[in-house]
Amino acid sequence: MRLVLIAGGISLLLSLILTPIFARFLRQKGLGQAIRQSTEDVHYPDHETKAGTPGMGGAIMLFSLLVGYASAHIITFRAPSYSSFVALFLTFALGAVGFADDFLKIFKQHSAGIRARTKLGGQIVCGAAFAWMATQNPSISWLNPTNSTMPPASQAISFVRDTGILLPAGLFVIWVIFIVVATTNAVNITDGLDGLATGAAVMSFGAYTVISVWQYGQSCAYGIGPRCYSVADPFDLSVFAAAFAGALLGFLWYNTSPAQIFMGDTGALAIGGGLAALAIMSKTQLLLPLIGLLFVAVAVSVILQVGSFKLRGKRIFRMAPLHHHFELLGWHEVTIVVRFWLIHALGVALAIAIFYGEWIRQ
């Protein structure tokens, strides 16, 4: 548990210190975020004032995550695990895709960023590479301190643990790509109001910290009963999740309304990658929609809006994503963010209750 607290604490401290320095640097260089213009016949309320706010804050978030995770292992003389290496790979690979998008938006003042098909292609490649890495036996000794031969992920669909539905290798890769693409895009769409996605992500990574710590305590590696958890390196996954939560919490201090800095696609895609990796490797894939309830709701609102307009020529919401619908109803931005956080918190609490309840029932 000490490792979890150290990782979270160091990443939190670094994020708190470095985020305003980075924001000040971007502001002095005149490298502010270009606000994307709406294609609909309405305008985002008060969003014009956000033009020029520094972006790409996800870079500091990722740096804090990496240093927090690495420092905790150095301080405690504990070797990192292969599972966390794979989780970090997906997180930083998707962060790199987002960085390319942010670079165009900030340095080139191109509000649309990279092409949608290019971004999607990058997400698919990252997801496919992760699927392959996550099903390999950890043969690199310094990334396998427990000498485990269990790969980080299995090819079974999971809920609170693996189910009996085993996917063929090709279908499993497609399934992983779907989870990665859906999660990253859902987080990216949600990142439309100050602090909205960041605050929700703190709760989600906090939930995975709790879940992974519990799985470690009830791991099959210790031979604890027939309902033990067959998860590779659950404790190190909790360290990764805690470091991510700490980095996000520090960033949230400056990202709340009025935001001093935006996370950009660098942060949004990385967050989605981290959540997808944890869901797959902790074997809680079908529990992810509850742990990421707000992200799912916002993404579904866009799907419904687009589908309704194409099929019926009518909109369901005044504007999608969902948070902009409530802006146009006259809700204040802070009111929307706090109420959406509360809804997300209920989803996270329900997910943890279901996870723990399944163990109690057995």
pLDDT greater than 60 at residue 138:
yes
DSSP string, 182-235: HHHHHHHHHTTSTTHHHHHHHHHHHHHHHHHHHHHHTBGGGT--TT-B--SSHH
The model's pLDDT over 205-247, given as tens digits with 9 standing for 90+, comes to: 999 999 999 999 998 877 767 788 999 999 999 999 999 999 9
Residue 168 lies in a domain: yes
Q: How many domains does the chain have?
A: 1
With the C-alpha atoms ordered 273, 274, 280, 286, is the resulting torsion angle positive or negative? negative
Of 210, 82, 212, give the one whose Cα is nearest residue 152. Answer: 82
pLDDT greater than 80 at residue 46:
no
CB 351 within 8 A of CB 207: yes
pLDDT at 227: 82
Residue 102 lies in a domain: yes
Looking at residues 156-182, what average pLDDT do you find?
A: 96
Residue 353 lies in a domain: no
pLDDT at 38: 45
The average confidence (pLDDT) of the chain is 90
Residue 145 lies in a domain: yes
pLDDT at 58: 94
The model's pLDDT over 80-112, given as tens digits with 9 standing for 90+, comes to: 999 999 999 999 999 999 999 888 877 766 666
Residue 24 lies in a domain: yes
Residue 303 lies in a domain: no
Neighbours of 168 (CB within 10 A): 9
pLDDT at 150: 84
User: Whole domain around residue 134: which residue ranges?
Assistant: 2-33+46-290
Residue 328 lies in a domain: no
Residue 179 lies in a domain: yes
From residue 350, give the alpha-carbon distance in Å to each of 69, 183, 199, 287: 28, 19, 18, 10
